Structure 1
Amino acid sequence: MRTRQTGDEQLKRLKKLCGMARLSLEERGVNSLFLAFGTLTWYDKDKPDEALLSPLILAPVKLIKEPRQDVYKISILEEDVVLNPTLSLKLKQTFGIEFPEGEAIQEIPYSELITQIRELLSEQKTWRIQENVFLSLFSYAKAAMVRDIIQNEARILAHPILQAMSGDLSAYQVNYKEPLPASDLDSRVQPEQIFQILDADSSQQVVIEAAKAGSSFFVQGPPGTGKSQTIVNMIAELIGDGKSVLLVAEKDTALRVVYQRMVECGLNHLCLNLHHSGTTDKRKLIEDLSQTTVML
């Protein structure tokens, strides 16, 4: 690939791209490094005089540095090629233009896909497609969130917790349950009903019992106060009660801490890694799912 940068400037940029892509994957579980094929120059209805430039086709890749050499190689990841999701959502909402997506574009040759896009945009006389290639970081994770909000607006507005967060407590208070006081733990929680796998003090026990009761709540505390330990105990309790648990975190580090605790307690066979690093390899994901199903 020929680039506008050469020599030290090129190496500096490649090193920075490689580091930022790795950080994004490790912390947020999102691959953000893509080869962008083709760009669209277009104009929004709100700002008709301002030209906007957006990538069109995004192919997920990673940069691999050769050992002891100032050489980087681009490796295509075994993930789906996508038409810029953020652009697709904007064009659909504002202009009623719907790009193909999902499996529909995986087997289409580049030239044919570009032709389809040109046809879809044919009525936009001032828009231009340029057939070029860029290697850069693109993050469209929030586009999926926006699409989800749009598609589920009614359900979201009707959710008691979200209503409470916006100031309307009426629906939430109907099912509100007072947490069990720490002083009542010994008399009201039977030992044979406990599935905790790590030590827990009375304040943590109160949180665990609230989770078992189905309450919604926030737990705050400085580092080292046992939040991860409490999460592990909550998971064990809920699994012991025949329930499934979805653990969500903004950063992969938090997930790894909890998972490692589960491994140390011999319960890793009950865990299925849905983080990006665990779902990229579809064969590995199927094997993990099969193992978990067999153990259950």
Structure 2
Amino acid sequence: MGNLKLLEWQYQQKLPFTDIEPHSVLGSYLSKEHQIQKNPQEETVVYPFGINQSQKTAVENALTSQVSIIQGPPGTGKTQTILNIIANIIMNGQSVAVVSNNNAATKNVLDKLMKYDVGFVAAYLGNKKNKEQFIQQ
């Protein structure tokens, strides 16, 4: 059995995921249809942290997509954009995860939330030390 055939056989033998919500991003990705849906945009979008046109577009795209990636060089307003996304999601009673392969990036978002006295909406996790500090608070 060649490597490709072995991988195909293993894939076909995989156990079904029973605890993954079918309408979640992961559920959509794992389904045979593999369709990540667009969400309808909320009528009111707020920008409490200021915004320029490209940031406005990024916020609107993030609010209508199940997954959004904000990337760019330093000083281009990524944190400000993320703060506006967080504000809108929380305003609509939903939750959001801000993740990065760079701890400094997520810490920067938390620091800005704290600066504006809304740090209580966030949990800075990621490594054991951060989790322990959060639990002790």
Asked if 1:270 is matched to 2:121, the reply is: yes
In structure 1, the residue corresponding to 2:35 is in which secondary structure? helix
Larger CA Rg, structure 1 vs 2: 1
Distance (whole Å) between structure 1 residues aligned to residue 85 and residue 71 of structure 2: 15
Aligned AA (2:83): V
* Aligned counterpart, 2:81: 230
What's the CA shift string for 1:194-253, capped at 9, x where partnerless?
333211112211221222224434344222211121111111111111112222222221
What's the CA shift string for 1:7-52, capped at 9, x where partnerless?
xxxxxxxxxxxxxxxxxxxxxxxxxxxxxxxxxxxxxxxxxxxxxx
Distance (whole Å) between structure 1 residues aligned to residue 38 and residue 132 of structure 2: 40
In structure 2, the residue corresponding to 1:266 is in which secondary structure? coil
Asked if 1:213 is matched to 2:102, the reply is: no
| Greater RCO, 1 or 2 (C-alpha within 8 Å, sep 6+) | 1
Name the Cα RMSD after superposition.
3.4
**Aligned positions, number:** 118
CA distance 1:171–1:151, shift in 2 (3 Å):
closer
Aligned AA (1:251): N
> How far is 1:177 from its partner?
6.6
Match runs of 1:36-75 below 5 Å: none
CA distance 1:269–1:152, shift in 2 (3 Å):
farther
Asked if 1:261 is matched to 2:112, the reply is: yes
Unaligned 5+ segments in structure 1 are 1-149, 181-188, 289-296
| Identity of matched residues, % | 23
Structure 1 residue corresponding to 2:132, chosen from 243, 260, 280: 280
Normalising by structure 1, we get a TM-score of: 0.33
CA distance 1:212–1:176, shift in 2 (3 Å):
closer
In proportion to residue count, which structure has more strand?
Answer: 1
Structure 2 residue corresponding to 1:171, chosen from 31, 34, 55: 34
Distance (whole Å) between structure 2 residues aligned to residue 151 and residue 264 of structure 1: 46
